A and B are shown apart, each in its own frame.
Chain A
Amino acid sequence: MAKVFLNGQPVEHPHEVHEHISPMSTYNGVIGALFVLTGLTFAVSFADLGPASLTVAMVVAFVKATLVVAYFMHLKYDDKFHLFVFLGTIIFVGIFFGFTMFDLKSRDALNDEQETFVRWKEQTNEGKGLPVGVDNVPERRAKILAEIEAHGGGHGGGEHSAGHGGGEHKAEAKAEHKAAAH
C-alpha cells in the first residue's frame, strides 16, 4: 500500500471516512437557538439602549456566527487546520479594522496639534442644493468658496465631501484641481 498523505501528514487508514455525522437533535437545537437570538436582537432594537445597542447587537451576531460555523459548517468536528484557516482570516480582519480605525481616530488629534488639519466638511452650496467639500480652516475655506463662486459653483458633493486632504499643499492642489475641472 502506497503511503497516503493528508495536509502533509501520513494517514494510517486512508480508506476510512472520518467525517463526523451530527445527530438531528444538534441541528434542531442550533436552528432553535438561532431563531431565539434573532428574535432577541429584533426585540432589543426597539428598546433605546443608546451606545450599548451596537455592542449588544454585535455580541448576539458573534454568538449566532459561532453556532453556524461550529455546527452547520462542522468546524467543531472538522480537521483543525480548517479552523486555523478560518481563525487566521478573522485575525487579519481584526488587524485591518483595528489599524484603520486607530489611524482615523487618532489622526484628528495629531493634525490639530501640528496644524495640518484638513478635514473636509459638507456645506450646502446655495442655489444648487448639493453638498460641497469645504475646508474648515477659515482662510482656506474663504479661498475655496471664492473660487467656487468665481466658477459658478455646483460641483457634485459626493466625490469631494468625504475626502481627507493631507496638508496645505494638497488642499491648495485640490482647490486648483477643482477650479481647473470647471
Chain B
Amino acid sequence: MSNDHAHAPAHVDDDEHNPHLAHHFDTMGQQTASAKLGMWLFLATEILMFSGLFLAYFILRMFYPEMVLEAHEHLSKWAGGINTVVLLSSSYTMALGVRSIQLGDAKKLRLMLVLTMLCGCIFMVVKYFEYSAKFEHGMLPGKFYSAHLHGYEIEGLPHIFFGVYFLMTGLHGVHVVIGLAIMLWMFIRAGRGEFSAKNYVAIENTGLYWHLVDLVWIFLFPLLYLVK
C-alpha cells in the first residue's frame, strides 16, 4: 500500500492515520459499512425474537377474542398514548443526533443524546406507574394473577393475557433501559471527542437500535392498548 500511496490524489484524506480505524479495515468507509451490516443482522434477530411474542398475542386473540377485549380495557389508553408520543419524539431527536454528527457537530449530538435519554426516562416513569397499577390490582401473569380477589372479574384466561402483556412490554422495557445505557456511553465518548463526520458509525448504530425499539412500540401500542 505504501508504494501506491505517493500517487494518491492530494485531496484524499489519509485514513491510515485515523486513530479510530481498526487495523483489520482498509478505510473508514469499509469499517462503517461492516459495522452497519452487523447492526442490521442483529436487528434481524431482534425482530425475530419479538415476532414470537407478537404471534403468541395473535394466537391468544384468535382463540379468546372476548377475553382479550375485556382484559385490554384495563390498560390505560392515555398512558400508552403518552408513551407513544414520547418514544416517537425520542426517535426524532436520535435521528437529529445522527444528522448533527454527520455534519460534524459533536456539541449538538450531545444535546440530542440528552434529549433522547430524557424521553427514554419519561417513558420508563410512565411505565412504572402503569406497572404499579397492575400490581396493585393483581393483574399479573400466570399463577400470580389475583385480580378476581380485588373485585375485577375478567372472563376466560386473563392470567395468560397479562402474561403476554408483561412479557411483551417487559422485554420492550428492558430494551429501552439498555438503549439508555448505550446512549449514556455514547454521550461520554462524544464528550471525549471520539466522533466526527468521518467516524460516527457507533452513533448511527445506537440510532438504529433505538429506532427498532420505537418500531416494536409502534405495533405494541395499538395491539395491546387500542384495538377493539
Contacts and interface: CB of A to CB of B under 8 A. Distances in A.
Contact of A15 (B27, B48, B63, B96): B27
B84 A38 contact: yes
A14 B105 CA distance: 23
A27 B95 contact: yes
B127 interface: no
Given A15-B27, A31-B88, A97-B58, A7 B37 contact: yes
Contact of A86 (B44, B55, B223): B44
A156 interface: yes
Given A72-B211, A86-B40, A104-B62, A57 B222 contact: yes
A79 B29 CA distance: 12
Interface residues of A, number: 67
A89 B47 contact: yes
- Size category of the binding interface on chain B: 35 or more
20 contacts: A1-B5, A1-B8, A2-B4, A4-B26, A6-B30, A16-B29, A19-B32, A21-B103, A22-B99, A24-B99, A48-B228, A57-B223, A68-B211, A69-B215, A72-B91, A79-B33, A82-B40, A97-B51, A97-B58, A129-B148
Contact of A96 (B29, B55, B95, B223): B55
Given A100-B55, A105-B62, A68 B222 contact: no
B191 to A, nearest CB: 23
Interface in A56-79: 57-58, 60-61, 64-65, 68-69, 71-74, 78-79
B26 to A, nearest CB: 5
Interface stretch (B130-138, B152-160, B167-175, B179-187): B152-160
Main secondary structure of the interface of A (DSSP, over half): helix
A109 interface: no
Contacts, number: 171
Given A38-B85, A61-B218, 18 more contacts: A2-B26, A15-B28, A15-B29, A19-B32, A27-B99, A34-B88, A42-B77, A45-B77, A50-B228, A54-B227, A58-B222, A72-B92, A73-B207, A82-B40, A85-B41, A96-B55, A104-B62, A156-B143
Interface of A: 1-2, 4-7, 11, 14-19, 21-22, 24, 27, 30-31, 34-35, 38, 41-42, 45, 48-50, 53-54, 57-58, 60-61, 64-65, 68-69, 71-74, 78-79, 81-82, 85-86, 88-90, 92-93, 96-97, 100-101, 104-105, 122, 129, 131, 156-158, 161-162
Given A2-B26, A60-B222, A61-B222, A93 B211 contact: no
Interface-centre pick from B47, B221, B228 (highest chain A CB count, 10 A)? B228
A97 B55 contact: yes
B37 A81 contact: yes
Contacts of A21: 99, 102-103
Interface in B85-116: 85, 88-89, 91-92, 94-96, 99, 102-103
B121 interface: no
A167 to B, nearest CB: 20
A111 B226 CA distance: 34
